[in-house]
Amino acid sequence: MSDGYTILLTNDDGIDAPGIATLREELTSLGDVTVVAPDGNQSGVGRTRNHTAVVRDHPWGYALAGTPADCVAYGLRGLDADFDVVVAGVNDGPNAGNYVVGRSGTVGAGIEAAFLGTPALAISAYHSTDFFLSPPEEYDFGRPARVAVGLVERALSAGVYDDVDLLNVNAPVDSPHPPVMLTEPHHDYGQQVEPVEDDELGPDERRVELNDRTWPDAVGWENPFPLAETHRDRYPVGSDRRAMVDAAVSVSPLTVSHGVADSARLADVVETFEVE
């Protein structure tokens, strides 16, 4: 489509994942789609970058042995093409809550795009009772993909990206007509640290297991939706997790400028601090 948008598509589940295949097909209605995606699963790597990467030709574009951020960097600076927007997804499972958003490879691709001056949208899919889509081949990513296409088209035409760097979107696969909510990542996080027996370690060594809790303080935190009525009040209206408990599409507008906080207390500390 010569008069449409030029779109760079990536993900973190790998170029062979069903979510990116569905999203690519839907995005072709908006313009020309070039895929640069990891050659294997890169979930949870955030915006990790590598100094070198092997790139292979692929029928959709390119498979890259690296992270989603590597893929975006290669696509935006290594190809002889100008892209109007970067789209990442459809991710298998939600990316909601400020901690999870910060470590997501799907969102990390969008952050890399924003730093390189290109608008981005990260789209993740969830099931309102199953939570994660496992195995993903048994789920239809069509609705989240169509949500992404509609939001990309409207956001670009409305000038949304004059104010916003990245849209982080979570969409249900099983809600026929989900409401769409403007949200922000919920601010909570929990961590469990447990000792792990390992007879091969030396006397001055020990192994520990570090488990972050995606839904802190919730019984059945790994799959909270069957207890939606119990959890609903825990997450305030306007948060991405509340939207998911309500089987809605969550749209969080993000910036990546790492803006400086205005702290009078810090200003006083700096003003009175003397280096000896």
C-beta of residue 10 within 8 angstroms of C-beta of residue 75: yes
Residue 252 among known ligand-binding residues: no
Locate the DSSP E strands across the chain.
Answer: 5-10, 31-38, 55-58, 61-64, 85-92, 120-126, 166-172, 180-182, 190-196, 207-213, 249-254
C-beta of residue 121 within 8 angstroms of C-beta of residue 85: yes
Q: How many CA atoms lie within 13 A of 269 on its CB side?
A: 4
Residue 130 among known ligand-binding residues: no
Residue 43 among known ligand-binding residues: yes
Q: What are phi and psi of 98, to 5 degrees?
A: -65, -35
Instruction: Give the burial class of 275: count Cβ atoms within 10 A of its Cβ; 0-12 exposed, 13-18 middle, 19 or more buried.
Output: exposed
Beta bridge partners of 86: 8, 120
Rounded-to-integer distance, Cα 45 and Cα 68, Å: 8
Of 248, 84, 273, the C-alpha closest to 179 is: 248
C-beta of residue 15 within 8 angstroms of C-beta of residue 38: yes
Residue 91 among known ligand-binding residues: yes
Binding residues are: 12-13, 43, 91
Binding residues for a divalent metal cation are: 12-13, 43, 91
